[in-house]
């Protein structure tokens, strides 16, 4: 199977064009019934960051490897998805269907032949590429973690997250004179993410990072609401294990 349908994928991306995340980190309480092990940064030549988060349960027999790459915009996230599929050891990973097919803007999923469990789910949401894979001795269902990640990246957060941390919010009303006008929404993304995880949601148009600035590109001459959320916190640290 080849993955040359990126133009078709782009035509399917609607909501993701107006979603942007930066500085995303998983915290120890994010995945119910799983124990956080560690987060490891991955060196990349692309603009943006890439992290692998490891989770375990069942005494370490079940392991989840969650890879999250932040790109400049949704189109670069699609390119990262294609690259991951092309480099996969399995050459026939299909488009996700059913409930899995509703994840992200574009999603692929691989099931184990013996159990039909979704052992690997890969998707993009906005400017973020996500891969969730079961890598332990016992196959784990990757779909609940993938579903949590998709909702976390794409929906407005609660006033407080499960860890009790307050979410700071503000919003901007844009007033473009025509479609395609650009406006700087965040002047220094690096500075904003130093405080925590930055999530930006717009009601139309597109969001894209250019250098250290986040740009809103209007979709029409109508006003648009752009909401910004910051979840305070630091990268999660592994819990001590007692064997």
Q: Dump pLDDT digits (tens) for 185-240.
A: 999 999 999 888 999 999 999 999 999 999 999 999 888 899 999 988 653 333 33
Phi-psi region of 28 (alpha: psi -120 to 50; beta: other; left: phi over 0): alpha
**Tally of structural domains, the chain:** 1
Query: What percent of the chain is predicted at pLDDT more than 90?
Result: 63
Interacting residues of 62 by C-beta distance below 8 A, sequence separation 6+: 56, 134, 136, 137, 138, 139, 140
- The parent domain of residue 126 ranges over 6-16+27-154
Residue 22 pLDDT exceeds 50: yes
Q: Specify the pLDDT at position 222.
A: 87
List the end-to-end C-alpha distance of the chain, in Å, as a whole number.
44
The pLDDT-based confidence of 89 (bands split at 50, 70, 90) is: low
Interacting residues of 158 by C-beta distance below 8 A, sequence separation 6+: 167
Structural domain contains residue 41: yes
Structural domain contains residue 82: yes
Structural domain contains residue 38: yes
Structural domain contains residue 86: yes
Closest CA to 233 of 204, 207, 194: 194
Give the pair of three-digit tokens for residue 135: 């890598």
The pLDDT-based confidence of 21 (bands split at 50, 70, 90) is: very high
Q: What is the average pLDDT across 33-45?
A: 90
Structural domain contains residue 211: no
Q: Specify the pLDDT at position 235.
A: 39
Structural domain contains residue 1: no
Model-level pTM? 0.89
* CA–centroid distance for 47 within its chain: 15
The CATH code of the domain that includes 49 is 3.40.1000
Give the pair of three-digit tokens for residue 199: 């999530």
Structural domain contains residue 205: no
146-169 burial code (b ≥16 CB/10 A, e <16): bbebbebbbeebeeebeeeeebee
Query: What percent of the chain is predicted at pLDDT more than 70?
Result: 89
Structural domain contains residue 127: yes
Bigger pLDDT: 35 vs 223: 35
Residue 157 pLDDT exceeds 90: no
């Amino acid at each position: 199977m080849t993955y040359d349908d990126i133009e078709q994928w782009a035509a399917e991306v609607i909501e993701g064009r107006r979603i942007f995340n930066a500085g995303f980190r998983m915290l120890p309480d994010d995945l119910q019934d799983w124990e956080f092990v560690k987060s490891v940064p991955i060196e990349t030549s692309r603009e943006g960051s890439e992290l692998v988060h490891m989770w375990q349960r069942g005494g370490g027999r079940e392991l989840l490897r969650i890879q999250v790459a932040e790109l400049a915009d949704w189109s670069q996230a699609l390119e990262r998805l294609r690259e991951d599929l092309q480099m996969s050891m399995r050459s026939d990973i299909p488009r996700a269907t059913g409930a899995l097919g509703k994840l992200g803007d574009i999603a692929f999923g691989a099931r184990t032949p013996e159990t039909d469990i979704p052992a690997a789910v890969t998707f993009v949401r906005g400017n973020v590429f996500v891969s969730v894979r079961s890598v332990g001795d016992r196959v784990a269902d990757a779909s609940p973690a993938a579903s949590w990640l998709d909702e976390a990246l794409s929906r407005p957060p609660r006033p407080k997250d499960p860890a009790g941390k307050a979410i700071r919010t503000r919003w901007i009303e844009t007033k473009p004179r025509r479609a395609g006008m650009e406006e700087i929404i965040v002047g220094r993304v690096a500075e904003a993410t130093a405080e925590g995880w930055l999530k930006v949601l717009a009601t139309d148009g597109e969001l894209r990072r250019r250098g250290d600035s986040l740009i809103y590109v209007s979709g029409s001459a109508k006003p648009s609401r752009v909401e910004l959320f910051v979840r305070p916190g630091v990268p999660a640290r592994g819990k001590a294990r007692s064997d």
